Amino acid sequence: MNTSMKIGAICVASVMFLTGCSSGSANEKAGIGKETIVYQNFISNGGNEDNLKKIVDSFEKENPDIEVSVKTTDYANYFTQLQTDLSAGTAADVFDVDMGMFQKLEKNDVFADLEINNLSKYRQSILNSYSADGKQLAVPTSFSTVVLFYNKSLFDKAGIEYPTDNWKWNQELDAASKITNKDEGVWGDMQPCTYNEFYKVIEQAGGSFLDEAGKPAFNSDAGVNAVKYLTDKPGKVMPPVEESNKPDFDTNLFKSGKLGMWHTGIWMFSALKDVDFDWDVVVEPGSKEQKSAAFSNAIAVSKSSKHIKAATKFAEYLSSAKVMVDTRLNSGWELPALSNADTYKPYLEQDHPANREAVLKSIDNSTPAPNLGEKGEEINDEFKNYLEEVASGRKSVDDLGELEKIVGDLLK
């Protein structure tokens, strides 16, 4: 090769090298070569979109080879959209579920088995709710629970001691009776007559909603006691169900200072920050034992995803990364479902309510909602109607056996 040919070859090679470098840089800026996963969620809808973005941005910074495309749907329409997408084979790579959604979808074989090394970092009582047949099909991203709120001023006025985390039903009912003053519109207690209350209360009474085979087992002494505990309150120590069922009736009654005790969720903390009386919370009272209801959200990976490894990495990050913990605790966006007690120090150190330890005790004593599969909504409705009819005197606790048969037929 002569000198001019050598120089020409070098020039061509140099141009190709520079072009390659320029192209690589441009590709990186454009996101070309990255693995893109789609995340469908409801958890950020309604005010937490920026909080979710903060976590996603942090994940992408730590994992520059993965890009997350976020799709947000309001909770009311989310599950219908998710079911449609799963049926059509167009589901996102990774998506939110709550316990009810998980139970309905679990039998449809739509979840990937998540390979996460250290599952002990999650609160086991919540984590186990999202597993089946030895497989971890989702990991919890957050939780909330129900506690007993109480108005200290009304307890002081009635001259009775404040509730404790070890209270029993009879202590609650006795205090509610002493606080109630119908002439002044003051009620001692508030607890909905619903399925979500019953499945928890029957366990407080030492029973179970379903037996080990998954068949109804609530027509029992414990079941009868649970029905009586819930349905004896309306009209006596709490407003009749016709009133208490009105939207926000319970919230407004407590905020007005005319409700002594209130069984409701920790999501109400922020709504009560400006009330003009002192209040606190305790673990819900029990009979033979204390059991609380837990509500959680989780994140799952689609079994049909082409990016299961990347999607699993994101699912683990969204459910356990420090930036997620800090973001949730700083914003009041529910609680991370992690087992490390140090995680909750900033939460426990907040001023009001004083007994935030009751939240963690409640979740540790929580009972998972029975798996009702696709018939969950129908069973919920049947129970609500039955309990309200008993509370109104139109049905009897003796009709519990008939309800058990109806639920048994629905679960077949």
Q: What is the mean pLDDT of residues 399-405?
A: 97
Beta strand 66-72 with 131-132 is unpaired
- Three-class SS of residue 93? coil
Say yes or no: do domains 34-142+294-365 and 144-291+366-409 share a fold.
yes
Q: How many CA atoms lie within 13 A of 78 on its CB side?
A: 21
Amino acid identity, residue 17?
F
So where are the chain's domains?
34-142+294-365, 144-291+366-409
Burial of 375 (0-12, 13-18, 19+ CB in 10 A): middle
Q: Please name the amino acid found at residue 232.
A: D
Tell me the per-residue pLDDT of 134-164, one tens digit each, with 9 for 90 and over: 999 999 999 999 999 999 999 999 999 999 9
| In 236-348, alpha helices (H) | 241-244, 249-255, 308-320, 322-331, 345-348
Question: Would you state the pLDDT for residue 273?
Answer: 85
Predicted local confidence at residue 64, as pLDDT: 97
Q: What is the mean pLDDT of residues 276-285?
A: 97
At residue 121, the pLDDT reads: 97
Q: What b/e string do you get for 107-118 counting C-beta neighbours within 10 Å, with b at 16 or more?
A: eeebbbebeeee
Under DSSP, is residue 92 helix (H, G, I), strand (E, B) or coil?
coil
**DSSP string of 22-34, one letter each residue:** HHHHHHHHHTTTP
Strand, coil or helix: what is 119?
helix
Architecture of the CATH domain 34-142+294-365: 3-Layer(aba) Sandwich (3.40)
Strands (E), 4-122: 35-41, 66-72, 94-98
Percent of the chain with pLDDT over 90: 78
Residues 126 and 132: their CA atoms lie apart, in Å, by 13
Q: Which residue do the tokens 């969720």 mark?
A: 265
| Highest-scoring range by mean pLDDT, 121-125, 280-284, 327-331 | 280-284
Range with the poorest average pLDDT among 35-44, 82-91, 367-376: 367-376
239 Cβ contact partners less than 8 Å away, ≥ 6 residues apart: 187, 190, 249, 253
Give dist(CA 13, CA 352) in Å, integer: 70
Beta-strand ranges (E) seen in 102-248 are 131-132, 135-136, 139-151
Which residues does residue 366 pair with via DSSP β-bridges, in sequence order? 292
Query: Mean of the pLDDT values across residues 125-132?
Result: 92
**Which amino acid belongs to residue 12?**
V
Q: Which CATH superfamily is domain 144-291+366-409 in?
A: Periplasmic binding protein-like II (3.40.190.10)
Least confident of 8-12, 124-128, 231-235, 285-289: 8-12
Count of Cβ atoms closer than 10 Å to residue 136 Cβ: 19
Q: Which tens digit of pLDDT belongs to each residue from 198-224? A: 999 999 999 999 999 999 999 999 999
Q: At 32, is the pLDDT very low, low, confident or very high (cuts 50, 70, 90)? A: low
